[in-house]
Chains A and B, each alone.
Chain A
Amino acid sequence: MSTRRAIGPTRAVVFFGVLVALPAFGLAHWVINMLVFTLMFAVMSSAWNLLGGFAGYPSLGHVAFFGIGAYAEVLWFGHHGITSGYEPFLLLPLIGIGVALLGLPIAAIAMRTRADVFAIVTVTLLFVVQTLAFNLRGLTGGAQGASIAAAPFPAGYYEQPFYFVLLALLAVAMGLTWLTMRSKVGLSLAAVRADEDKAVGIGVRVQTVKLLAFCVSVGLTGMVGGIWAYYEGFIYPQFAVDPLITVAIVLMTFLGGRGTLWGPVVGAFILEMAQQYLAYSLGGSQLYLIGYALVFLVIILLMPRGILPSIQDRLRRRRRRRAVDTPFPATAREPALTGQGERT
């Protein structure tokens, strides 16, 4: 028991330790650029998971909040000179809180619907924000785009500040996920996801936990938008509010496993890296999208509930079989059974 309890923290220390150490190995720019995008998606998938995975509200409009965060960053610093280059990062918590508060009335309305209807309501949100970004020219520059002064980091390690800020944000997102899971917030969200009407009838604070999950989720997503805007330096409505981003974070979460701590992160690392690698090796054509779709289809066909839940199920079944088997000579039976387990 105590060894199993130690696995979680150990895993986190190793994972973040490796990621902190990585840039010290003098990675090529394209590799660290890929990692920056992977981390962005890992944070956003983890954030989406709080709402889509734990509360069971599959939002397809998260990129609207990503875009709002991005424009908030650009609007704030677009006309300022950036001296040390780190101020835009200091603004991030404010963006997070601002986007979360903006999400509150939206959640109060959108979360009156459920499941597929909720997904559609949130999709409309995406297009509303995109249309606003195109048309509020005085604010966003419209289709001409808006710019933020390039970060004055030395070219040799330009990506690194972004990388480390995203890594910290991933730690925050995963920390919040972990707190959710072990608290009554998670317990209440699980009840909402399984049977909201029943949950209402037994006094679960349904409205509170739903709004909380929504606001934290979109707040984190908005912060990633802010980092992205600063990283790109120049943003356009069709990229700041790109439906493909929403699709990607949903796919990543499903792939890794909804409602788990590590699932969205695993999904982001597999899909974003596969996509970047395929785009790189298949060139400028859109062919990489086919490879990307294949990776997703194969894994989902083999593990319909996502990678981590499927592995956990398999381990649990094996452990139970082993427990049932103890009356028999363990050494004689075990290898045969584990072999079987791996094949199925």
Chain B
Amino acid sequence: MSAPNKSALLEVAGVSRRFGSVQALQDASLSVEQNSITALIGPNGSGKTTLFNVITGYLRADSGHIRFDGHDVTSAKPAMLYRHGLSRTFQQARVFADLTVAENLVVAGGFSVARLFGGRVDRHDRERVAELLGEFGLSHVADLYASELSYGQRKLLEFAAVLMSRPKLVMLDEPTAGVNPVLIETMERHIRALHDAGITFLIVEHDMNFVMRLCDPVVVLDQGQEIFAGPPDAVQTNPAVVDAYLGA
């Protein structure tokens, strides 16, 4: 699509991935600019989640290259990417049900092996944990088990937890799926605030209103390929995008 851009934080170039006879990603390319809120949309089965998994190291790409923050990370492992500032959430909020809310944050802190033998929540953790809990309005449930939270609260918790590592890029997989309208607004507010603080976002989302309000640019994926990338107001009128969604 676009020529390699110096300011791109994440650069996906010609990535393919096949599952048996299904070509989930076909020469997919994507570029996420520094401090942007990039949306990744597309019909069901267009390869959004596969692309997420390939970028974050959960799946290996069959071919193609991925660069993050100036480094080639095509075959990097998830843990390494996380420690270098690439965080993600999952479609179904994945939090640890039998850890407390505060512990869910601590465990995502990317601590060193030496600190394994320190307390579960020790003085090094308290400040950052308190800060994030306060920011996300979860202070009053800090000591509850994550299993006792509502689904929406779990989504917030997962979001808050991946910020523990002070990431440069946060990838959110459907942050508004299954949560109520009030929480969608909350989610939006958090994303804006973190964006203002310098964090870059790549968001997979089905809620088009949310995407239109928040994201720029919007990247559309169809059958494992990028078919459009541009400002939100141009998306809805683009014939290729309309085709993809209406299945013409």
Q: How far is the CA of A209 from the CA of B117 in the complex (A)?
A: 11
Q: Please determine whether A206 and B79 come into contact, CB atoms closer than 8 angstroms.
A: yes
Identity of the chain A residue whose Cβ is nearest the Cβ of B146 in the assembled complex: A194
* A contact residues around B88 at 8 Å (CB): 201
Q: Please determine whether A184 and B118 come into contact, CB atoms closer than 8 angstroms.
A: yes
Q: Please determine whether A203 and B110 come into contact, CB atoms closer than 8 angstroms.
A: yes
Minimum distance in angstroms from B38 CB to a CB of chain A: 20
Which of the residues B58, B78, B108, B120 comes within 8 Å of A186, measured between beta carbons? B120
B136 in contact (CB, < 8 A):
no
Q: How far is the CA of A89 from the CA of B106 in the complex (A)?
A: 41
Within 20-66 of B, Cβ neighbours of A (below 8 Å) are at 56, 58
Minimum distance in angstroms from A304 CB to a CB of chain B: 16
Identity of the chain B residue whose Cβ is nearest the Cβ of A207 in the assembled complex: B79
Segment with Cβ contacts to A, from B94-102, B176-184, B229-237: B94-102
Q: Please determine whether A201 and B116 come into contact, CB atoms closer than 8 angstroms.
A: no
* B contact residues around A199 at 8 Å (CB): 107
Q: Please determine whether B110 and A184 come into contact, CB atoms closer than 8 angstroms.
A: no
Q: How far is the CA of A205 from the CA of B78 in the complex (A)?
A: 12
* B contact residues around A80 at 8 Å (CB): none
Q: Please determine whether B113 and A208 come into contact, CB atoms closer than 8 angstroms.
A: yes
* A187-B99, A187-B103, A191-B99 known; A205-B113 Cβ under 8 A: yes
Minimum distance in angstroms from A108 CB to a CB of chain B: 16
Q: Please determine whether B120 and A202 come into contact, CB atoms closer than 8 angstroms.
A: no
Q: Please determine whether A191 and B107 come into contact, CB atoms closer than 8 angstroms.
A: yes
Identity of the chain A residue whose Cβ is nearest the Cβ of B57 in the assembled complex: A201
* A185-B117, A195-B94 known; A202-B110 Cβ under 8 A: yes
Chain A interface, DSSP helix/strand/loop, else mixed:
helix
B119 in contact (CB, < 8 A):
yes
Which of the residues B83, B96, B117 comes within 8 Å of A184, measured between beta carbons? B117
Minimum distance in angstroms from B117 CB to a CB of chain A: 5
Number of chain B residues close to chain A: CB under 8 A? 33
B199 in contact (CB, < 8 A):
no
Which of the residues B56, B87, B107 comes within 8 Å of A188, measured between beta carbons? B107
Q: Please determine whether A198 and B99 come into contact, CB atoms closer than 8 angstroms.
A: no
Q: Please determine whether B161 and A202 come into contact, CB atoms closer than 8 angstroms.
A: yes
Q: Please determine whether B83 and A203 come into contact, CB atoms closer than 8 angstroms.
A: yes
B151 in contact (CB, < 8 A):
no
Mask, A178-195, CB within 8 Å of B = 1, is: 010011111110110011
Q: Please determine whether A200 and B96 come into contact, CB atoms closer than 8 angstroms.
A: no
Q: Please determine whether A201 and B96 come into contact, CB atoms closer than 8 angstroms.
A: no
Mask, B68-112, CB within 8 Å of A = 1, is: 000000000111001100011010001011110001001111110
Identity of the chain B residue whose Cβ is nearest the Cβ of A186 in the assembled complex: B120
A197 in contact (CB, < 8 A):
yes
A204 in contact (CB, < 8 A):
yes
Q: Please determine whether B79 and A201 come into contact, CB atoms closer than 8 angstroms.
A: yes
B115 in contact (CB, < 8 A):
yes
Q: Please determine whether A201 and B113 come into contact, CB atoms closer than 8 angstroms.
A: no
B9 in contact (CB, < 8 A):
no
Q: How far is the CA of A203 from the CA of B105 in the complex (A)?
A: 12
Q: How far is the CA of A205 from the CA of B90 in the complex (A)?
A: 20
Identity of the chain B residue whose Cβ is nearest the Cβ of A201 in the assembled complex: B78
B169 in contact (CB, < 8 A):
no
* B contact residues around A188 at 8 Å (CB): 107, 116
Minimum distance in angstroms from B190 CB to a CB of chain A: 18
Identity of the chain A residue whose Cβ is nearest the Cβ of B56 in the assembled complex: A201
* A183-B118, A183-B119, A184-B120 known; A198-B90 Cβ under 8 A: yes
* A187-B106, A187-B107 known; A202-B162 Cβ under 8 A: yes
Q: Please determine whether B161 and A184 come into contact, CB atoms closer than 8 angstroms.
A: no
Q: How far is the CA of A335 from the CA of B113 in the complex (A)?
A: 50
Kindly list 6 other residue pairs between chains A and B, CB separation below 8 angstroms, not including A183-B120, A184-B107, A187-B103.
A183-B116, A184-B111, A185-B116, A188-B107, A201-B79, A203-B165
Contact sample, A vs B, 13 pairs, CB 8 Å cutoff? A183-B120, A184-B116, A187-B106, A188-B116, A190-B96, A194-B96, A198-B90, A201-B58, A201-B82, A202-B110, A203-B110, A204-B107, A205-B113
Binding site for A on B (CB under 8 A): 56, 58, 77-79, 82-83, 87-88, 90, 94, 96-99, 103, 106-111, 113, 115-120, 161-162, 164-165
